[in-house]
Amino acid sequence: MYDRQLRLWGVQAQQRLRQAKILLYGLTAVQSEICKNLVLAGIHSVTVGDVQICSVKDLSCNLFLDASSIGKNRAEASVERIRELNPHVQVSATTQEVGSIDLSQFDVCVLSGASLSTTMEVNQRARNSKSLFFSVETFGVLGYMFEDLMDLFSYEKKVEGETKTQCITSVPFQRALQSNIQHHSNPIYLALRILLLFEEKCKRCPGEGDVEELVGFRDELIGPLVQ
Q: Are 82 and 46 in contact (CB under 8 A)?
A: yes
Going by pLDDT thresholds of 50, 70 and 90, the confidence category of residue 37 is very high
pLDDT at 186 over 90: no
Choice between 76 and 16, residue whose per-residue pLDDT is larger? 76
pLDDT of residue 224: 59
Sheet (strand 142-148) strand order: 90-94, 45-49, 21-25, 108-112, 132-139, 142-148
What does the radius of gyration of the chain's CA atoms come to, in whole angstroms?
19
Choice between 2 and 38, residue whose per-residue pLDDT is larger? 38
pLDDT at 126 over 80: yes
**Residue 132, Cβ neighbours under 10 Å: how many?**
19
Q: What is this structure's pTM?
A: 0.85
Domains present along the chain, CATH in parentheses: 3-179 (3.40.50.720), 180-227 (no CATH)
pLDDT of residue 168: 81
pLDDT at 210 over 80: yes
pLDDT at 45 over 60: yes
